[in-house]
Structure 1
Amino acid sequence: MTDPDTTATPAFGIPRIEVEPEDTPPFGIPAVSVPVHLTRDADDETSVIQDTPLTDDDPVVEAIALPHEPELARPARAARFVASAFILLTAAVGALSAWQAWRSYWLVRDFYSAIPTVTNEQLQTATDRSTWLSYGWMAGVALSGVAFIVWLWRARINAARVCDAPHRLRIRWSVLSWFIPIGNLWLPQMVLGDVWRASRPDTPARGGNLRKVRAGKLIGVWWALFLLTHAVDLAAVNLIKDDSSVQTFERVFFANAASGGLAVLSALAILVVMRRVDRWQADRELIR
């Protein structure tokens, strides 16, 4: 940058300063020259900026054009946290139900033994505890289902805003897919699968084809575990309706143990899926 030239005749005693911009802008960012005319009010000692005609002697101020910061997607973290909490609580209730089924099995076995030591109060307590755990399981499934659908709805909207590739199902199917008889055996995982594909960092934002994007195997694992969990749970309920023999309680115990284990694995799988989708979407730029 050249030295300022102060040889011009000052106006009102204020010297004029002419600054010539450098040939190469700093940091490779283009500079925009903005002329500013400094004058002095006759009744004031302060220099002010006025909209007056500019001359060649007016100083030039360089304004650097700042780079544009893209707007990123906002994942539904709050919905994910709520859904994750309910899913974990439901899995914990499933594990407790398996433990209670084991306790009930041994109580019934003792009751039908040659010399029973269990009392009617113990049997009634075990029955009440099993009933409350069943209610807790059903409430947990309902609450975690609602919370997960809210998260899936938000994630589906974000997926459409970061990638314009068409999905197999529209946004409303994030909710409807769970309530279609028979169709709810595969439609929900289709919605989540497309959200996974559209949110991946290697999926192009424009002109992509989700069918050509690699599917997430973890979603298939979660969906299989989810269906098996509820299938085994329904089987256990039907078993206890038939009779109350020792063999029936033994089968119920094994069914509940399997259901509880599958519920825990299913919960862990979907928590990983939700966290990964949110992390991917947080790094994607909105295109609409």
Structure 2
Amino acid sequence: MQDDRVNDDAKPTVLRPVTGAAHCVLATLALAGVAWTARGVWQVRLALAGQPTAGPPDQGGGRHRPLTALEDAYHLVSTVGDVATVLCAVVFLAWLSRVRDNARALTGRRLRYAWPWMYLGWIVPIANFWVPRGVVAEVHRAVRPTARLPHSVNVWWGLWLVGALSGVGLMYADTTDDVIARAYTNVAPLLAADAAVVGAAVACALMVRALTGAQERRGSS
């Protein structure tokens, strides 16, 4: 997984600015956290309202009943959450690209994970269990090689995996109408996944602040 873009005779010497990118990440993380909290609130409202006598929105056989006002609102909240998540991912990767380039400059050597893995690591099966965390850990080691990895990194990654791979969180394959039906019958797993995603956003914000601050201090020293 060596970085083939770097040659030892032309290592970057100037650190890329990361403060602005970090602020953008923090803003989008806050937006995503609020959106996923709202999703959980609406799921609780659906559970308390109870399933209509006409049954779930998806009636089977390609038939759908008209949605209630609460169900319509959940569709909107869910869409906002999805958009916020995508926006957050794009901004986070832009920040990660900057701090990773700085890590190369600070270490003066090739990194373990080549640059395509910064993107492929999130989607390649099996590798997505550890590669993204490994990229972040390598960035930290470039700045503070003898220091322990911040707890926020492990908390972020653990909660991310719970929210993404639990079957009801970030990567569930159900339609919004299916999620509504699940909220009526068994809302607890949905809320647990929502809580994991929000917790991951908080831990990610702490991680971004820690790594950004460490690079800024190292660059000014």
Task: Calculate the TM-score normalised by the size of structure 2.
Answer: 0.75
Match 2:158 to one of 209, 216, 224: 224
Q: How many Å apart are 1:83 and its aligned residue?
A: 1.7
Match 1:125 to one of 60, 64, 69: 69
CA distance in 2, matches of 1:243, 1:84: 30
Q: Do 2:29 and 2:201's aligned partners in 1 also have CA atoms closer than 8 Å? A: yes
Corresponding residue for 1:277?
Answer: 211
Identify which range, 273-282 or 164-173, moves more after superposition: 164-173
Cα deviations by residue, 1:105-162 (Å, 9 ceiling, x for unpaired): 12225x45xxxxxxx99x6111111111121121111111011000000000011112
Please list, as runs of the form range in 1=range in 2, the aligned pairs for 1:206-225 lying within 5 A after superposition: 214-225=148-159
Provide the aligned length of Structure 1 versus Structure 2.
195
Cα deviations by residue, 1:78-99 (Å, 9 ceiling, x for unpaired): 2111122112111111111111
Q: How many Å apart are 1:255 and its aligned residue?
A: 2.4
Corresponding residue for 2:28?
Answer: 86
State yes or no: 1:179 paired with 2:130. no
Corresponding residue for 1:64?
Answer: none
Q: Do 1:189 and 1:223's aligned partners in 2 also have CA atoms closer than 8 Å? A: yes
Corresponding residue for 1:241?
Answer: 178
Q: How many Å apart are 1:239 and its aligned residue?
A: 10
**What is the CA RMSD across the aligned residues, in angstroms?**
3.1
Match 2:101 to one of 146, 151, 157: 157
- Shift >4 Å, 4+ stretches: none
Specify whether residues 236 and 257 from structure 1 end up closer, same or farther in structure 2 by C-alpha distance, changes over 3 A only.
Answer: farther
Q: How many Å apart are 1:72 and its aligned residue?
A: 7.3
CA distance in 1, matches of 2:158, 2:85: 17
Q: Do 1:153 and 1:175's aligned partners in 2 also have CA atoms closer than 8 Å? A: no
Task: Calculate the TM-score normalised by the size of structure 1.
Answer: 0.59
Specify whether residues 242 and 179 from structure 1 end up closer, same or farther in structure 2 by C-alpha distance, changes over 3 A only.
Answer: closer
State yes or no: 1:146 paired with 2:90. yes
Q: Do 1:86 and 1:140's aligned partners in 2 also have CA atoms closer than 8 Å? A: yes
Q: Do 2:43 and 2:183's aligned partners in 1 also have CA atoms closer than 8 Å? A: no
Corresponding residue for 2:195?
Answer: 261
Q: Secondary structure at the match of 2:29?
A: helix
* Greater helix proportion: 2
**Where do 5+ consecutive residues of structure 1 fail to align?**
1-70, 113-119, 204-211
Q: Do 2:44 and 2:183's aligned partners in 1 also have CA atoms closer than 8 Å? A: no
Q: How many Å apart are 1:163 and its aligned residue?
A: 1.9
Q: Do 1:75 and 1:281's aligned partners in 2 also have CA atoms closer than 8 Å? A: no
Please list, as runs of the form range in 1=range in 2, the aligned pairs for 1:50-69 lying within 5 A after superposition: none
Q: How many Å apart are 1:178 and its aligned residue?
A: 2.2
Identify which range, 258-267 or 272-281, moves more after superposition: 258-267
Specify whether residues 128 and 248 from structure 1 end up closer, same or farther in structure 2 by C-alpha distance, changes over 3 A only.
Answer: closer
CA distance in 1, matches of 2:48, 2:94: 42
Percent sequence identity over matched residues? 24
Q: Do 2:75 and 2:176's aligned partners in 1 also have CA atoms closer than 8 Å? A: no
Match 1:168 to one of 112, 118, 125: 112
Corresponding residue for 1:40?
Answer: none
